[in-house]
Amino acid sequence: MSDRTSVNLVCPIPLQQYPHVLMAHGGGGKLMHQLVQMFLTAFGTADTIQHDAVTLELTGNKIAFTTDSYVVNPLFFPGGDIGSLAVNGTVNDLAMAGARPLYLSVSFILEEGLSMEILWQVVQSMQQAAEKSGVQIVTGDTKVVDRGKGDGIFINTTGVGIIEHARAIAPQSVQPGDLILLNGDLARHGIAIMAVREGLEFETTIESDSTPLAEVVLDLLAADIEIHCLRDLTRGGLASVLNEITTAAKVGIEIDESLIPVREDVQGACEILGFDPLYVANEGRFVAFIPQQDRDKLALKDTPSDNGKGVSLRASLDPTCPYRGCASQRALEIMRSHFPHNAVVIGKVIEDKNSLVTLKSKIGSKRIIDMLSGEQLPRIC
């Protein structure tokens, strides 16, 4: 892939002749091969993608393996599109297992009549996202379904990563006393999608937080931080993830509303739309469960507390923060080197047979944060 760059690629399909995807593009004949050429041009995997399966050499024998299908509507939204989302989402799932993401497969389900130009844009976006994360798209598949039996583009990406350490990074490893570190402000992805879908306009454009998380995780691992668990806050948001973890680890969690960063415009949009930001999906946010450090040894250095975008930053930088000085300074420094303004401690793990997640509100009251029955926002990923 080293000789190739995704900028200035020329689409090998003549768009004037084939402005739309036809049923025949999924049929195994010449048109499908032309479509495959489009993917090969973008993904640069000519040697491998043409066989039934690709052969990969790995440097270790412990791998991480994950799959996700992406059905986000609309296909394009501020801060991303279905293509970059499909790459980042699967890269992030590998990262959350403590793995170095290496390879992705990509499988498209296209609706007859889809604009070929849009497909080409999505494919290029995938390649750019793959390059950014250092993963290779190595094998693929395309199906075409009749008009009205799909919705433009559905994408499945499945990822393989290599695990280069002996840690057990998993919900079951979470223990009472662990602190919960969060890498940034919540709820932007879901609100960005919803704003486009509902035609809402705000003073500032709310952009999705979609971003790859592999680099920050690999840096945490390289620094030998004792990580018990990592989770990205996608469908169901922070609240659902914390509930999944308390159930799996048979512990309780206490978080502090005043420590959880939410941008003011996002908070406002949530109030207009009737959503709770704790349950809204993110695509570039994760929590890390890390044992509490000795308060005396690790004094936390202060860093600027506002990113200039109207984001109020309370959290562990605030002198009144109860976790100030308790967290691994090195872990927070690494997280802030990737996410400068909002990497914070939001709470801790406690003993609790009932596996409850409790939120201490800004006015000091406590409430239980339960799993929702369904979800606030359908088709946000």
Q: How many residues bind a second copy (CB under 8 A)?
A: 87
Secondary structure (DSSP) of 87-153: HHHHHHHHHHTT-EEEEEEEEEEEETT-BHHHHHHHHHHHHHHHHHHT-EEEEEEEEEE-TTSS-SE
* Long-range pairs, 47-50, Cβ under 8 A, ≥24: 48/138, 48/139, 49/138, 49/139, 49/140
Q: Is residue 378 at the binding interface for a second copy, with CB under 8 A as the rule?
A: yes
Q: How far is the CB of 209 from a second copy (least distance, A)?
A: 17
Return the closest-CA partner of residue 11 out of 34, 33, 31. 34
Binding mask 290-319 for a second copy (x = CB under 8 A): ------------------------------
C-alpha triplet 229, 90, 241: angle, nearest 5°:
40
- Counting Cβ atoms within 10 Å, is residue 299 exposed (0-12), middle (13-18) or buried (19+)? exposed
Q: Is residue 106 at the binding interface for a second copy, with CB under 8 A as the rule?
A: yes
Q: How far is the CB of 306 from a second copy (least distance, A)?
A: 31
Return the closest-CA partner of residue 283 out of 212, 218, 206. 212
Q: Which is nearer to a second copy, 57 or 201 (CB)?
A: 57
Could you give the CA distance from residue 63 to residue 58 in angstroms, rounded to a whole number? 9
Determine which residue in the list 88, 105, 124, 282 makes contact with a second copy, applying CB under 8 A.
105
Q: How far is the CB of 31 from a second copy (least distance, A)?
A: 6
| DSSP 8-state class, residue 196 | H
Q: How far is the CB of 173 from a second copy (least distance, A)?
A: 11
Q: Which is nearer to a second copy, 76 or 329 (CB)?
A: 76
Residues 35-74 that bind a second copy (CB under 8 A): 50-71
Q: How far is the CB of 8 from a second copy (least distance, A)?
A: 28
Residues 223-262 that bind a second copy (CB under 8 A): 231-232, 234-237, 240, 244, 248
Determine which residue in the list 85, 86, 97, 359 makes contact with a second copy, applying CB under 8 A.
97
Binding mask 139-178 for a second copy (x = CB under 8 A): xxx-xxxx-xxxx--x-x-xxxx-x------xx-------
